[in-house]
Structure 1
Amino acid sequence: MFKSLPIQLVQEESDDLIQMINPEQESDLKPEDLPEELSILPIKNTVLFPGVVIPITVGRQKSIKLVKKAYQGSRIIGVVAQKNSQAEEPTVEDLYRAGTVARIIKMLVLPDGNTTIIIQGKNRFAIKEFVQEEPYLTAHIQLQSEPKLNANGKETKALVQSLKDAATKILKLNPEIPIEAQVALDNISSMAFLVHFLASNLNVEVAEKQKILETQNLVDRGTLLLQYMLKDIQMLEIKHEIQKKVHTDIDQQQRDYFLRQQIKVLQDELGYDGPDKEVEKLRKRAENKSWPQPVADHFSKELDKLLRINPMAAEYPVAMNYVEFMLDLPWGEYTLDDFDLKRAKKILDQDHFGLEKVKTRILEYLAVLKLKQDMRGPILCLYGPPGVGKTSLGRSIAKALQRKYVRMSLGGVHDEAEIRGHRKTYVGAMPGKILQNLKKAQSSNPVFILDEIDKVKADFRGDPSSAMLEVLDPEQNNTFGDNYLEVEYDLSKVLFIATANALDTIHSALRDRMEVIEVSGYTLEEKVEIAAKHLVPKQLKEHGLKTSDVKISRAAIAKVVNSYTRESGVRNLERKIGTLVRSIAKSVAMEEPFDKMVTEETVTKVLGVEIFDEELYQGNDIAGVVTGLAWTQVGGEILFVESSLSKGKGGLTISGQLGDVMKESAMAALSYLKSNADALNIDHRVFQQYDLHIHVPAGAVPKDGPSAGITMFTSLASIYTQRKVKAKLAMTGEITLRGKVLPVGGIKEKILAAKRSGIKELVLSSKNRRDIDEIEKHYLKGLVFHYVDSVEEVMKIALLKDQVDKPMKFVFAEQKIHA
């Protein structure tokens, strides 16, 4: 506002011109004082208000003709603002329909040939119609009279004072406005002239000034003007605050610079290292790094950037941590491999009893590495139940190769940034765990164990499994990109070994990048050997005892395995042995008498009541009870399928928290039995007049899988025929509606579960014979295998001709025949 003042523009003119801005000298024109047709002068970028004197430079030929003729005559013209300021020759459509009658006070011809006129606004008018456009615009107009106003009214006085206060505030906030403006403002006493004078100098668009001009009531005109002025004040205040803040920041920076220079001088005097010396130390450390040239260039840029950052700024420690992390990474630093395979075999045999197939595959893997001298090979994935030694196998491999050992647990990882890191722009950004572990190992070729890779979960923060694809792909991991590091890192020399309890939860593309090696559970004999050679000495050492203090007999260990730990691995077995050792450690510490030989009686005394029976098999005295075999993530188990019949209407109930697959197996078995009832001498009426209930005990435990088909069929055949099931027999296999027996998985774990439970005979699909052939012979000792292709063969093996002791007698109601 007040960018240019009319009074300054005419101050070189005569005194009577200055007096004309005095509202006391104003007088409204009357309609009879005007010609019938008024010449219309279009003006750009401003609006003329009554009483206000402004200069206008006339450049258009039409406008020059109009001004010259008017100046020679009455000097009265109509001034109308243009809507479009870009139009050089405006038409009637480009003009507003309201303007101000003006009197030309002075016309000046400037040296550059332009004509400038000084005009004063008189009355507002509205155009009724345009009469002509050539040689200039003329129109019929109607004067807009100003309604009388009570100058002493409260509303008028308040409005005038508000306008003056707002104008004064604008003058204070805008230093560009000359001091004479306040003098001019103080000399205005007329409200009409005050409104018009302020509106003319208001810093708003032409359309908003035109809106003020067209407002009929003077009070409304002043109120609208006040709204625009208040907006202008807000903008000026914001601008003033920004300028003040910038000025303060510059002062603060200058102060900080001065203080930093003083600190630098003091540090030099005291012998402390300043930021410059720290950066130089980092640069010297970088000279010993054998990193690629692009990485060296990137590091140099980061150091140069660090020098430009204020050491007291929040960004400085972030940048410092980044360059230090780059230096801490083992770029091109490798340990020498020991490829003595005989030594490796000896270490594997010492650390792990059994697992011959797994150890053979690991030795083959190491042999290829020795011959190839290249890490680009399959990523190993050790798959099996908990406690069988998957993670410790990885430690043994690192020991055999004399490499650094790194273990990273992926259980519960659901953030992609855990693998790839965060971008540096985030607050609290950190590198991924892959690079963090390499930094700890201080080697670029450690044995890296990715533990529990099947427990990785995806959520809204990304899919860590997808991030692992690059890590475990030999074709890609030589250019691994961490979001935090921002440069590529070579992971191709790292020996990655993953472990998993289940394969179905691993991302399919991730599983495709790994060679799965199954690590199955241990037999009773293997557990006894593992406990005697590894677990007992380890627990004695951890509890501060010597081997001379106590001896645990093999019979006692076998008692612990059979009666207290039914698992595929040995983790729970180690806990129980620890309990036995602690009881002895307590006696030693308290100097109490104790028996150094731990026997079966000692085991029962310390561990309490036996958790598991010697044989879980429950006999064959009841019809419809059949023993099946199941696979779980913690090893194999036996389960029972029970069936019962009761008088009813042929209903079917299935219980025991069975999944969809097991329910479908039950339906398939029942359908096959119904279609072949005649072959089993089953009366068809039993299916209509008796309800069938199929139950798998441990109802609180969810169960599912394709292994129970023939078990359910045998249970149904037994209950409907009341024939006995062969003693100490278990079975596993899926059934089809045609009576075919399909193969299933997890055979070794199921065989171990059968041996633990006292089972002597097993019924399997003939296609599972290949799985049996791959199992070591000592696992199969004491077991008889029956290989079948159809359920008829299953019945011949599983069902005896004898009925149970108290067979159920079926009573059928007579069916009425309707004529």
Structure 2
Amino acid sequence: LKKKIKKAKMPKEVEKEANKQLDRLEQMHPDAAEASIVRTYLDWLVELPWEVSTKDNLDIKAAKKVLDEDHYNLEKVKERILEYLGVRKLSKKKKGPILCFVGPPGVGKTSLGKSIARALGRKFTRISLGGVRDEAEIRGHRRTYVGALPGRIIQSIKQAGSNNPVFMMDEIDKVGADFRGDPSAALLEVLDPEQNSAFSDHYLNVPFDLSNVMFITTANLVDPIIPALKDRMEVIALSGYTEEEKLKIALKFLLPRQLEENGITEKDMKISDKAILQMISHYTHEAGLRNLEREIAGVCRKVARRIAEGKKGGSKVNRGNLHKYLGTPRYLSEEEQAISEAGVATGLAWTQAGGEILHIEASTMKGKGNLILTGQLGDVMKESAQAALSYARSKAKELNLDEDFYKNQDAHIHIPAGAIPKDGPSAGVTMATALISALSKTPVNKDIAMTGEITLRGRVLPIGGLKEKALAALRAKIGTVIIPERNKKDLDDIPNYIKKKINFVFAKKMDDVLKAALLKGSRVENKRGGRIRADRENKN
């Protein structure tokens, strides 16, 4: 043990503690209960990689090549890793970044950690924090307890065998808390670059330097993470993939992998691009790729069985015969609106599975000024509908509506797919447009979709998830999308092929939305736009 302590090259204070415990062990009887506890403790101390570290691969071009080989797109993450490598090449300081990848399931967050470790030439270790409720899981138990062990952090460092691995903590948003303590609070020290150079585990009771470790955490949602912990991490959002991106990933990664796993070759099965696109749109409904890979695996298994039964000739899978392999389509896209109608406006929503379109319906009937809301709406969405009605009432004269319409009429706003809960403020402008359209009997252009939060003064406030919403509009063959003017900056994140196919209209106020969405020649348009009325008179 003395030789092992010297060989471990521990820091002075740790070596002093190890020698102190060794002296105690020498004076104990080998059969004493305390002896096995001290021996286990010393074993842990000498086996930890105090001075063992791997050398970083600082070749930026080679690292980029590795990242591109393993993952398609994800440019923000790749750029951040290459920036870190650039800094490491120029500076001797070794502090590792603390990144948090946030995105829907199946977009490649965990596999990205392995790819980063491979690009940097570092060891990779991973723990899952999903369902962890005990603080001792992170910090370990004190040695006074029977069967005490260090926490998961120190255990993983020992398994990695180096003091600078890429350390991935999965599902950081699913950490629980109960009477045994809050693991999130224990992670505050681990994930703080100013504190983790002297991380103290309850079992070891000596500081261990974690500042060289590159910590990567993953989460599906940012909201459940406690603010103090969120503040310590650099959050990088990974949005879902577009249909075109999924097709490229399927052809480059998923299909070759499934052909190999199922023991068949490209000669045995040829699958068309249109068949894969059909799988994406009609057999899966997700932002990631897990279900798509399952569907591809299902087709490969059918072909493998056919070959195993002795049937000759390669199988050609196309859009027309895909149902023979996978059954009837499980998901149908939202039906296109046949005609432009009064009281029906097309909104855009963001979900964990990507973007969706919503046909928001409004109608008026005799009543006492009540507002009826149906479609399983959340509190925020109900408040947006109230704001839309208040805006219509306050601007009734300007909108050429009956100023007393609310006294003898009820308004009903319904959002179809009533079994699905909906919430959020971004449908505000859509509800206001549908309501004003119903009150003025003016059709809304069916080829226009919109998104934005509305205020009582009619201002249009910015929203999130613009890329996913634009994709939803493209899938529904909608050519024009009205978005808040303050979201103009987010167009940089939208692929060029989408920007070529969709015309984005920027709205600062509700007037801009109505001008673009309501069909020209309407009462509302004529009230505010004299030019249109004059044009029609000239034609007459």
How does the TM-score come out when normalised to structure 1? 0.61
The 8 Å contact of residues 587 and 594 in structure 1, kept in 2 or not, is answered as no
1:376 to 84, 95, 103: 95
Q: Deviations over 1:520-579 (max 9, x none)?
A: 222221111100000001112222223333222212111111222232222221111111
| Worse overlay, 317-326 or 409-418 | 317-326
- Aligned-partner SS, 2:504: strand
Map of 2:293 onto structure 1: 574
CA distance in 2, matches of 1:782, 1:395: 36
CA distance in 2, matches of 1:628, 1:309: 76
Change (3 A) 1:427 1:731: farther
| CA shift for structure 1 position 623 | 3.2
Q: Which runs of no fewer than 5 residues in structure 1 stay unpaired? A: 1-281, 804-819
1:518 aligns with 2:237: yes
1:450 to 152, 166, 169: 169
- Aligned-partner SS, 1:422: coil
1:605 aligns with 2:324: yes
| CA shift for structure 1 position 802 | 7.1
| Worse overlay, 528-537 or 375-384 | 375-384
CA distance in 2, matches of 1:381, 1:470: 16
Q: Deviations over 1:232-286 (max 9, x none)?
A: xxxxxxxxxxxxxxxxxxxxxxxxxxxxxxxxxxxxxxxxxxxxxxxxxx33322
- Aligned-partner SS, 1:800: coil
Alignment of 1:686-765 (within 5 A): 686-765=405-484
Change (3 A) 1:595 1:723: farther
Map of 1:778 onto structure 2: 497
| CA shift for structure 1 position 314 | 4.5
- Aligned-partner SS, 1:532: helix
| CA shift for structure 1 position 614 | 4.8
| CA shift for structure 1 position 330 | 1.4
| Worse overlay, 670-679 or 528-537 | 670-679
CA distance in 1, matches of 2:312, 2:521: 58
CA distance in 1, matches of 2:92, 2:516: 55
CA distance in 1, matches of 2:305, 2:521: 57
Change (3 A) 1:496 1:616: farther
The 8 Å contact of residues 96 and 213 in structure 2, kept in 1 or not, is answered as no
1:300 aligns with 2:19: yes
Change (3 A) 1:400 1:683: same
Q: Deviations over 1:631-681 (max 9, x none)?
A: 233433333322233332222222333222211111110001011222333
2:63 to 335, 341, 344: 344
Change (3 A) 1:477 1:739: same
CA distance in 2, matches of 1:594, 1:646: 65
The 8 Å contact of residues 337 and 446 in structure 2, kept in 1 or not, is answered as no
Map of 1:390 onto structure 2: 109
Alignment of 1:163-562 (within 5 A): 282-376=1-95, 378-562=97-281
Q: Deviations over 1:487-541 (max 9, x none)?
A: 1101111111122222222221222222222222222211111000000011122
CA distance in 2, matches of 1:442, 1:779: 47
| CA shift for structure 1 position 620 | 4.4
- Aligned-partner SS, 2:413: strand
CA distance in 2, matches of 1:440, 1:564: 41
Change (3 A) 1:758 1:456: farther
CA distance in 2, matches of 1:449, 1:681: 60
Change (3 A) 1:504 1:374: same
> More relative contact order in 1 or in 2 (CA 8 Å, sep 6+)?
2
The 8 Å contact of residues 556 and 599 in structure 1, kept in 2 or not, is answered as yes
| CA shift for structure 1 position 308 | 4.5
CA distance in 2, matches of 1:353, 1:651: 52
The 8 Å contact of residues 381 and 498 in structure 1, kept in 2 or not, is answered as yes
| CA shift for structure 1 position 371 | 1.7
- Aligned-partner SS, 1:771: helix
The 8 Å contact of residues 523 and 779 in structure 1, kept in 2 or not, is answered as no
- Aligned-partner SS, 2:225: coil
- Aligned-partner SS, 2:63: helix
1:674 aligns with 2:399: no
The 8 Å contact of residues 375 and 495 in structure 1, kept in 2 or not, is answered as no
The 8 Å contact of residues 378 and 423 in structure 2, kept in 1 or not, is answered as yes
CA distance in 2, matches of 1:463, 1:743: 35
AA of the residue aligned to 2:206: V
| CA shift for structure 1 position 307 | 4.2
Map of 1:644 onto structure 2: 363
The 8 Å contact of residues 725 and 800 in structure 1, kept in 2 or not, is answered as yes
Q: Which runs of no fewer than 5 residues in structure 2 stay unpaired? A: 523-540
CA distance in 1, matches of 2:27, 2:307: 67
- Aligned-partner SS, 1:601: coil
- Aligned-partner SS, 2:267: coil
CA distance in 2, matches of 1:466, 1:635: 32
The 8 Å contact of residues 648 and 691 in structure 1, kept in 2 or not, is answered as yes
1:790 aligns with 2:487: no
Map of 1:32 onto structure 2: none
Change (3 A) 1:346 1:481: same
CA distance in 1, matches of 2:367, 2:445: 29
Change (3 A) 1:471 1:613: same
AA of the residue aligned to 2:226: H
| CA shift for structure 1 position 615 | 5.1
CA distance in 2, matches of 1:430, 1:796: 68
CA distance in 2, matches of 1:325, 1:678: 79
- Aligned-partner SS, 1:415: coil
The 8 Å contact of residues 658 and 703 in structure 1, kept in 2 or not, is answered as yes
Change (3 A) 1:611 1:801: farther
CA distance in 1, matches of 2:28, 2:363: 82
Q: Equivalent pairs: percent with the same residue?
A: 54
CA distance in 2, matches of 1:311, 1:632: 63
CA distance in 1, matches of 2:334, 2:358: 13
The 8 Å contact of residues 444 and 517 in structure 2, kept in 1 or not, is answered as yes
CA distance in 2, matches of 1:470, 1:480: 7
Aligned length: 522
| Worse overlay, 292-301 or 622-631 | 622-631
The 8 Å contact of residues 96 and 211 in structure 2, kept in 1 or not, is answered as no
| CA shift for structure 1 position 795 | 0.8
Change (3 A) 1:652 1:285: same
The 8 Å contact of residues 269 and 317 in structure 2, kept in 1 or not, is answered as yes
AA of the residue aligned to 1:488: P
CA distance in 1, matches of 2:69, 2:41: 43
Change (3 A) 1:760 1:420: same
Change (3 A) 1:476 1:743: same
CA distance in 2, matches of 1:316, 1:622: 84
- Aligned-partner SS, 1:780: helix
AA of the residue aligned to 2:275: A
Map of 1:656 onto structure 2: 375
AA of the residue aligned to 2:168: I
